[in-house]
A = this chain, B = another copy of it.
């Protein structure tokens, strides 16, 4: 859970954890997927992730580090649409041509699978296709949930909900240590993610902190009272399709996915 460094023994631990949660459990399939990855690339902090110049619609995998996807308006306003953690699989369906950017919040190691290779891969390993479909569905579920936040939740609710989400997602790929996880977002980024102003974000975070619910300092999120956050935001982890309350990654079992579509 520390900031990206080279403490990571295997480049793909997070990705593999993610694949497990996507119910891609067979070693055979996992190896096939890893095998299809291009060489890893590094992107330094505060830079944009760029495809390897190739055709724009390949699947990109974040092996290490954090980033966010954001869209900018012509007048400078911006909206962060996703917070991306290690193991996440991005752009499963081709990124639409809109003004999307993936911004590295920390040094990021990532890789991609080219269209061609992916097509073959999915053909030979239908379960990989299914897993990717689930990944996309999960992504959508988070999008929908954020839409609800921006549309109908108050500032504190948005923050509480987001903190819950980040923590549960992080835990699912073993990126938590106790009640802490990494959250390398500045308050400005947080504001743009939640559709709030910087100042109001600051005050709302302060409110949650002074209620003893969370702490957020030096890029580390500490959850002091998960239930409290959950109470405020009515957070229901169901949509994340992850093992419900598994305290450790060991006991979390892949959820009973309603056999999804390979596509």
Which A residues have a C-beta under 8 Å from some C-beta of B? 55-57, 59, 71, 73-75, 77-79, 81, 92-98, 100, 115, 118-119, 122, 129, 132-134, 136-138, 140-141, 143-148, 150-153, 192, 194-195, 234, 236, 238-239, 241, 258-263
Residue contact B144 to A71, C-beta cutoff 8 Å: yes
Cα distance, A148 to B146, chains bound together (Å): 11
Closest CB-CB distance, A3 to chain B, in whole Å?
A: 27
Cα distance, A67 to B76, chains bound together (Å): 34
Residue contact A96 to B239, C-beta cutoff 8 Å: yes
Residue contact B79 to A147, C-beta cutoff 8 Å: yes
Contact of A151 among B59, B94, B150, B260 (CB under 8 A): B150
Please give, as numbers and ranges, the residues of chain B lying within 8 Å of A59 by CB-CB distance: 261
Closest CB-CB distance, A55 to chain B, in whole Å?
A: 6
**With contacts A132-B263, A152-B78, A241-B96 known, is A55 near B144, CB below 8 A?**
no
Closest CB-CB distance, A259 to chain B, in whole Å?
A: 7
5 extra A-B contacts, CB within 8 A, seeds A147-B150, A151-B195: A71-B148, A73-B148, A81-B147, A93-B136, A94-B260
Which chain B residue shows the least CB distance to A126? Answer: B119
Residue contact B239 to A133, C-beta cutoff 8 Å: no
**With contacts A100-B144, A259-B115 known, is A152 near B79, CB below 8 A?**
yes
Please give, as numbers and ranges, the residues of chain B lying within 8 Å of A141 by CB-CB distance: 96, 98
Contact of A118 among B79, B132, B146, B261 (CB under 8 A): B261
Cα distance, A79 to B148, chains bound together (Å): 6
Residue contact B98 to A137, C-beta cutoff 8 Å: no
Top-5 shortest CB links A-B: A151-B195, A150-B150, A96-B141, A94-B260, A98-B239
Please give, as numbers and ranges, the residues of chain B lying within 8 Å of A195 by CB-CB distance: 150-152
Contact of A97 among B57, B133, B239 (CB under 8 A): B239
